[in-house]
Structure 1
């Protein structure tokens, strides 16, 4: 049975790498945010707007416990998922947890290029976004560092490198 859980800050490439890794392993891919949206029939932003971050984190925690019971999956979690409740310890018990680690500058560049709405970054200037990333990473590192494995993705900037990263991940989890 395969159960791989990808964690890291928003913009680290969890969904992109997760899809490619799941395909390479021949298993199903789940993005936890997408799973939440499907089950709740609302976007993450709508949940944040209606219930605040605390309400969203409760829903996220409950649905993490649902999806992390599935077998033969690669799951990408939201950037904050490991940092609330006992989520990181639970994930470590459920499967192989991999922290996709990147510098604040790389994350900022990835987020700038991304097209998805990030509720925590709305209405912030570029300077405020950079500062926010640095502050949040400093806080979240204590949770991220509890992952079974850490993979530096600072050089992940094209599709060839995604394939190289998937190969590295496969070798890492086979050990």
Structure 2
């Protein structure tokens, strides 16, 4: 199979954007952070879009941009944490590219998301056990979608080199 694009999926805070930027350098491909793309396309922050329009409208707009980027070649796409879980988004991603689920434990995710630098509408005001419980519940809801990825990789163990090896073993990268 020729790989023309790579979709990085996983819970918020799993490192999709960080990995995507590193893979861009390693593979020499373009990189799109879907959250940044959303904000550029709709000329507003995701937080503001949520506040003004609600999650349902956000998910519909997010689906539109997934179909927009799904045809770009030689592109690594870091999706939002919920993106694969709505409509037929995971099927669209699987049909148009290699999907990689960056899997992390609830504890690792909570540690990453408790940082004051993390400003995310769905976890605003949550900390400690409340954050752990929220992540655990959301992760159990989302994992059936994440588990449909073509590759499931332990984000606690693999470094960028490991992800590059997985990608290369999954098929021919488009040149």
TM-score norm. by structure 2 comes to 0.92
Q: From 8, 11, 14, give the equivalent of 1:9.
A: 11
Match for residue 51 of structure 1? 53
The SS at the match of 2:108 is helix
Deviation at 1:114, TM superposition (A): 6.0
Q: Report deviation, 1:170.
A: 1.4
Q: What corresponds to 2:66 in structure 1?
A: 64
Aligned partners of 1:101 and 1:151 also within 8 Å: yes
The 5 A counterparts of 1:83-162 are: 83-113=85-115, 115-155=117-157
Residue matched to 2:165: 171
Is 2:114–2:127's contact at 8 Å kept on the other side of the alignment? Answer: no
Structure 1 counterpart SS, 2:114: helix
5+ residue gaps in structure 2? 170-175
Q: For this pair of structures, how many residues does the alignment match?
A: 167
Match of 2:172 in 1: none
- CA RMSD between the two structures: 1.2
Q: Which has the higher helix share?
A: 1
Q: Does structure 2 retain, via aligned residues, the 8 Å contact 1:7–1:78?
A: yes
Q: For the Cα contact (< 8 Å) 2:22–2:160, is it kept in 1? A: yes
User: 1:42 matched to which residue of 2?
Assistant: 44
Q: Is the 8 A contact 2:33 2:79 kept in 1?
A: yes
| Structure 1 moving runs of 4+ over 4 Å | none
SS in 1 for 2:47: helix
Instruction: Specify every segment of 5 or more residues in structure 1 that has no aligned partner in the other structure, as ranges.
Output: 156-163
Distance (whole Å) between structure 1 residues aligned to residue 130 and residue 17 of structure 2: 25
By how many angstroms is 1:165 displaced?
1.7
- For the residues of structure 1 that align with 2:66 and 2:86, how far apart are their CA atoms? 11
SS of the residue aligned with 1:167?
Answer: helix
Are the counterparts in 2 of residues 18 and 29 from structure 1 also a CA contact under 8 Å? yes
- Cα deviation, 1:108-143, whole Å, max 9, x if unaligned, reads 111123613100001223221111000000110100
